[in-house]
């Protein structure tokens, strides 16, 4: 028996070595999961130097990860920090502190902040009442720093440091374990020239987060306050309409339909850029009943403003890959199903995301059937797709070992083994003949090039001939010895 096993191990090793020597006949393509490769196929090619430092895509309904690359890299998200400010403003409205029609009267400090060239992207006039809904539009689209501070002061009753602490407390509550906030807008406190100065907060501190944490934040924002999308889904917005203070802004989200790199289904959410953070982007996109959340961080360099556009090519490519690779469908029907050789009864139809042309797998635990996913959940606080089940009362009868043998006689197993041997033998024989044909072809080609090669076969033709003979012998051996 030992000699028999050794013989077949030796033959297998030799054949593998022969295949490698002949140029790797079998190759595996990893292009499906290579960002630079699939971006070309998507029609949104990513240029060298503009590959995101980190990215992630999740299902907005379940929190299932569909794509990730360095999702836990610590990064300065720049103006994406404003998303947490918007979250806390929506939460305050939910608590009844104010509503979208509540107005905020502009102070001298607000006017002065709006006049700082490095921070300014909209005008604020002294004594004017700005409705919260207009402040939201200013924050979301032109990424107004002064509007963000005005909104944060409304939420915190002008407790600037208290608002920063609230941002960090909410991040911890949501499971954003690698995020720290030092300001409400994404701009360092020191850039405000003393006009915005939360006590006890490092004025040079940059907000830090990760693609994963920002996806968690956006997941919770859309789950609890989906109305945020009304402020992020238009390529052009007008604030303070029909007043002397009316302004029109074009979005920096160039993936919105109607913008420069419009992608079907995109309806938000926020961009951000800074000298230390480069160009960043959170996108939400919906096709049919499927909504995805995407975060892209660190595209390009601040010194090259092309990154403002290139982040959207990268974002579109990654979104397109997720939409084309996965599908949301019914995985199991309500009622009786067999999972892991157990008969179970599901309370309802079970839907989920799976890769196209693949079979889903499930886990059964504590009366919950859960979909197993390749990349898992974006946060342990967000449970995977699951459905309640009950085990069927019908138990399979345990037969005595003698009865089992009667049910599965020995000659049946022998017949199955014989059939397998015939298949294996046929495959080996076919490969052997193919190698012999290749050997003859190589020999003929070289004889046409050089007279000398008619007498001296090339190394390649020798290897092919030898491999072919060994494969034929292996085919015969399979029938005789196995």
Residues placed in the known binding site for substrate: 270
273 is catalytic: no
447 is catalytic: no
The conformational region for residue 47 under phi > 0 = left, psi -120 to 50 = alpha, else beta, is: beta
Q: In a 3-state reduction of DSSP, which class is residue 454?
A: helix
**Kind of pairing between the strands at 368-372 and 361-365:** antiparallel
C-alpha dihedral sign at 470, 473, 477, 478: positive
> Are 228 and 269 a contacting pair, CB within 8 Å?
yes
Spatial separation of the C-alpha atoms in residues 92 and 89, rounded to whole Å: 5
> Are 271 and 254 a contacting pair, CB within 8 Å?
no
The conformational region for residue 337 under phi > 0 = left, psi -120 to 50 = alpha, else beta, is: beta
Please give the helix or strand (H or E) that residue 433 lies within, else none: helix 410-449
> Are 310 and 53 a contacting pair, CB within 8 Å?
no
256, 408, 418, 474 from 415: Cα distances, Å: 63, 12, 5, 21
> Are 436 and 422 a contacting pair, CB within 8 Å?
no
Annotated catalytic residue within 143, 185, 255, 461: 143
Spatial separation of the C-alpha atoms in residues 313 and 320, rounded to whole Å: 10
Annotated catalytic residue within 62, 82, 255, 474: 82
C-alpha dihedral sign at 102, 105, 109, 112: positive
Spatial separation of the C-alpha atoms in residues 371 and 386, rounded to whole Å: 6
418 is catalytic: no
* DSSP-assigned letter for residue 455: T
Spatial separation of the C-alpha atoms in residues 295 and 77, rounded to whole Å: 10
How many contiguous H segments (helices) and E segments (strands) does the chain have? 12, 16
Spatial separation of the C-alpha atoms in residues 109 and 124, rounded to whole Å: 10
What the block records as the tokens of 338 is 């067999």
Q: Which of 321, 381, 396, 387 is nearest to 360 (CA)?
A: 387
Annotated catalytic residue within 79, 179, 273, 474: 79
Spatial separation of the C-alpha atoms in residues 122 and 114, rounded to whole Å: 7
Spatial separation of the C-alpha atoms in residues 466 and 463, rounded to whole Å: 5
In degrees, to the nearest 5, what angle opens at C-alpha 132 toward C-alphas 214 and 282?
20
Name the residues annotated as catalytic: 79, 82, 143
């Amino acid at each position: 028996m030992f000699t028999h096993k050794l013989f077949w191990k030796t033959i297998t090793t030799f054949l593998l070595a022969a295949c490698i020597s002949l140029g790797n006949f079998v190759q595996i393509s990893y292009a499906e999961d290579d960002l630079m490769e699939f971006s070309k196929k998507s029609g949104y090619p990513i240029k060298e130097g503009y590959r995101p430092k980190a990215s992630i895509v999740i299902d907005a309904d379940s929190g299932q990860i569909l794509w990730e690359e360095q999702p836990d890299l610590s990064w300065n998200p720049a103006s994406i920090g404003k998303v947490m400010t918007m979250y806390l403003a929506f939460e305050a409205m939910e608590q009844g502190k104010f509503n979208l029609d509540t107005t905020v009267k502009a102070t001298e400090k607000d006017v002065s902040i709006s006049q700082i060239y490095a921070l300014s992207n909209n005008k604020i006039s002294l004594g004017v009442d700005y409705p919260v809904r207009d402040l939201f539009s200013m924050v979301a689209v032109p990424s107004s720093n002064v509007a963000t501070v005005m909104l944060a002061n409304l939420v915190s009753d002008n407790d600037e440091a208290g608002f920063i602490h609230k941002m960090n407390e909410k991040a911890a509550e949501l499971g954003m374990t690698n995020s720290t906030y030092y300001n409400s807008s994404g701009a360092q406190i020191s850039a405000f020239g003393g006009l915005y100065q939360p006590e006890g907060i490092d004025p040079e501190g940059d907000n830090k987060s990760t693609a994963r944490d920002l996806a968690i934040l956006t997941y919770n924002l859309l789950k609890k306050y989906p109305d945020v999308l009304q402020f992020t889904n238009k390529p052009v917005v007008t604030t303070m309409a029909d007043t002397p203070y009316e302004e029109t802004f074009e979005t920096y989200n160039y993936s919105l339909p109607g913008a420069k790199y419009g992608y079907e289904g995109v309806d938000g959410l926020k961009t951000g850029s800074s000298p230390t953070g480069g160009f960043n982007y959170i996108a939400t996109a919906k096709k049919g009943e499927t909504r995805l959340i995407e975060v892209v961080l660190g595209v390009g360099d601040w010194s090259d403003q092309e990154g403002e556009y290139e982040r959207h090519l990268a974002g579109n490519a990654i979104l397109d890959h997720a939409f084309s690779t996965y599908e949301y469908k019914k995985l199991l029907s309500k009622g009786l199903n067999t999972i892991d050789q157990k008969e179970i009864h599901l309370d309802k139809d079970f839907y989920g995301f799976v890769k196209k042309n693949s079979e889903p797998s499930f886990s059964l635990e504590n009366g919950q059937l859960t979909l197993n996913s390749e990349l898992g959940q974006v946060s342990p606080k967000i449970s995977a797709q699951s459905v309640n089940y009950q085990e069927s009362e019908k138990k399979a009868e345990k037969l005595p070992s003698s009865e089992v043998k009667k049910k599965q006689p020995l000659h049946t197993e022998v017949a199955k083994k014989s059939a397998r041997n015939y298949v294996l033998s046929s495959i080996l024989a076919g490969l052997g003949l193919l190698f012999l044909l290749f050997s003859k072809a190589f020999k003929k080609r070289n004889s046409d090039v050089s007279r000398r090669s008619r007498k001296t076969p090339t190394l390649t033709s020798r290897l092919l001939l030898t491999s072919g003979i060994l494969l034929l012998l292996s085919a015969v051996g399979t029938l005789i010895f196995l």
